[in-house]
Amino acid sequence: MLVLSRQSDETIIIGDNIRITIVEVRGDKVRIGIDAPRDVAVHRQEIYDAIRREAEKAAHPN
């Protein structure tokens, strides 16, 4: 895992077309903005996990 330090309004670039910008840092919370192509899915981890569980249930109904 790459760990970077960033301040508000600073950006991280992933590949040629994904930009992650630190929007705000307040206490122990960080707000980020993600700019990615429409064909790239962007989810919070808990949402991604729920989607995967539902897909697995649909593929193996019992």
pLDDT, position 49? 97
Q: With respect to residue 39, please indicate whether it lies within any of the assigned structural domains.
A: yes
Q: With respect to residue 6, please indicate whether it lies within any of the assigned structural domains.
A: no
Contact 49, 56 (CB under 8 A): no
| Per-residue pLDDT tens digits for 13-61 | 999 999 999 999 999 999 999 999 999 999 999 999 999 999 999 998 8
Q: With respect to residue 2, please indicate whether it lies within any of the assigned structural domains.
A: no
Domain range for 46: 11-59
Q: Name the band, by pLDDT with cuts 50, 70 and 90, for residue 2.
A: very high
Q: With respect to residue 5, please indicate whether it lies within any of the assigned structural domains.
A: no
Q: How many domains does the chain have?
A: 1
Q: With respect to residue 30, please indicate whether it lies within any of the assigned structural domains.
A: yes
